[in-house]
Amino acid sequence: MKYLALSFTGSLILSFMGSLCPALLYNLDMKKAFWAGLSGSVGWLTYIFFKNYTDQVIFATFMGAIAVSIYSETLARLLKTPATILSVSGILPLVPGSGAYNTVQYMVQNRYQLGLTEGIKTMASAGSIALGIMIISALFRISTRKLKL
């Protein structure tokens, strides 16, 4: 679909910057913003891989969110920060911001059918991101609790 025109390096750099710059807007310090940017690249490349493989946007978003979450939970333990710090910026390329925007844009243009389709897609993508992050963080939580006991 729309993202396939970019080369591998191109999308790597773009998704890195696309997570690093919002992380700076969210006032993260430079060193952690770098790792946050890298989590964006991890999520985006996973997303593109599964999207080419299955041609299913919502499934690809889910897998991207899982990749971001595994990355940030692992790195959070190494850097000793909350995992959210890294995952919040990492999921930004996956977050259906344009979907939310398109939904209302269609409504404004009297194209309600398209608006409804986009709206459902947006909700499903946002839900699948949250679900992916939830599953992984719950798994990590269970494993650390068991180790402590």
Partner 1 sequence: MNIKEVANIAIKAGEILIKSGAEIYRVQETISNIFSSYNVKSESFVVLTGIIISAESEDNQTITLVKYISGSNIDLKKIEMVNSFSRTLKNNPLNYEEAMKKLEIIESIPIYPIYVRLLAAGITAFVYTILFNGKIYEAIIAFFISIVIYTVKGCFENMGLFLFFNYFVSCIIAGILCIVSTIILPYADIYKIAIGSVMILVPGLTITNGIKDALYGDTVSSLYRLTEAAFAAIAAASGIGIVFTAVLRYL
Q: Which of 57, 63, 68, 133 binds partner 1 (CB under 8 A)?
A: 133
One-letter amino acid at 99 equals G
Are residues 125 and 64 in contact, defined by beta-carbon separation less than 8 angstroms?
no
Closer to partner 1 by Cβ: residue 74 or 81: 81
Are residues 42 and 90 in contact, defined by beta-carbon separation less than 8 angstroms?
yes
Are residues 36 and 23 in contact, defined by beta-carbon separation less than 8 angstroms?
yes
Cα separation, 126 vs 16, in Å, equals: 20
Q: Which of 39, 42, 103, 136 binds partner 1 (CB under 8 A)?
A: 103
Q: Is 112 in the site for partner 1 (CB under 8 A)?
A: no
CB neighbourhood size of 53 (10 A): 11
- Find the binding residues for partner 1 in span 69-98 (CB under 8 A): 80-82, 84-85, 88-89, 91-93, 95-98
Q: Near partner 1 by CB under 8 A, which window of 13-21, 49-57, 67-75, 141-149?
A: 13-21
How open is the CA angle 104-108-113, to the nearest 5 degrees?
Answer: 70
Q: Which residues bind partner 1 (CB under 8 A)?
A: 2-3, 5-6, 11, 14-15, 17-18, 21-29, 32, 80-82, 84-85, 88-89, 91-93, 95-98, 100-105, 107-109, 126-127, 129-131, 133-134
